[in-house]
Amino acid sequence: MLSLAAIMRNAYRAGIAVPAFNIPYLPMMAPVIRAVVDQDCFALVEVARLEWTKFEAGSPAAVMAEFQKWQAPEHVRLHLDHVPVIDEDQLQVDYLGIIREAIALGYHSVMVDGSRLSLEENIAATREVATLAHAAGIPVEAELGAVLGHEDGPPPPYDELFASGRGFTQVDEAVRFVAESGCDWLSVAIGSIHGAISGVYKDQKKISARLDLDHLDRLRAAVDIPLVLHGGSGVQREYVLEAFRRGIAKINIGTEIRQAYEATLRASGDIGAAQAAVYERTTWLIRDYFALSGTRRQIAAEAV
């Protein structure tokens, strides 16, 4: 069985993305994994710190326990998503403690998010996590630039954000960051935004985002490692598919499947119906939106 690091390198070389589905509610785990297997795709399921602090994922241990009930390692591995050094509420986080716990639990990859730090501090925090993770034989994702949207209150005005390039990953900083931090994958800011997580905003339809593909080209030419797109829900399809060809090897999906679960559960009161809605939405994303059905063998088979 190929390592996750090898699978991600294969995806990057082949222009095929690995979708990564966030699990803010534990009953979402089973239908997501079933959809991935049924579509013969390779994917990650993942949990970010905010999904156990602001939703109902419970803890890294609870997510791992649920994953182990349904695991299908030829199709799906478990990733620790955003563990911020400074969180969306501007609070200091025990990020090393959380990451050590996830490594001990057997997570297949981890992410440290130092994007609210200075470049030097982000490099230092990522390098510390990379040392821990690499000693355990697993890869590390980091973030450079600012994919906004998780902050309290309404999302920023999108057209203004895109036109200004606010928060976009800078090429010269990316070169230094990759060289000095030891990260294996880099989350870049090129126009996507996270789904809102606070108040009434978390139930609103996401903005139809665009991507600065020319900027992505410059980043890929400068740093030859798999790139990651956070805030993948709602990005216009033509941009997404082109981004896969230009170096995006992992795309995070949260809002699309979370809102399907929450809306169905509110309307029906039936967890089974909510799970069915997650299965249908995940299937649609893999098959119809991202065109990734049947791609597992191209990136995850031993003969690749």
The answer for residues whose C-beta is within 8 angstroms of residue 274's C-beta and 6 or more apart is 27, 260, 261, 262, 264, 265, 268
State how far the Cα of 274 lies from the Cα of 189, in Å rounded to an integer: 32
Alpha helices in 137-236 (DSSP H): 158-164, 171-181, 213-222
**Rounded to whole angstroms, what are the CA distances from 130 to 64, 100, 112, 125, 221?**
21, 11, 9, 9, 23
Name the nearest CA neighbour of 19 among 1, 30, 39.
39
Contact assessment for residue 216 and residue 240, using Cβ atoms and an 8 Å cutoff: no
Is residue 217 annotated as a catalytic residue, yes or no?
Answer: no
Residue 153, by phi and psi: left (phi above 0), alpha (psi -120 to 50) or beta? left
β-pair partners for 76: 43
Task: Give percent helix, percent strand, percent coil of the chain, each to the nearest 5.
Answer: 50, 15, 35
State how far the Cα of 243 lies from the Cα of 16, in Å rounded to an integer: 10
**Rounded to whole angstroms, what are the CA distances from 81 to 13, 20, 87, 99, 221?**
23, 9, 13, 10, 25
DSSP one-letter code for 117: S
Could you give phi then psi for residue 288, rounded to 5 degrees?
Answer: -100, -35
β-pair partners for 185: 141
Catalytic residue among 81, 87, 113, 184: 81
Active-site residues, by number, are: 81
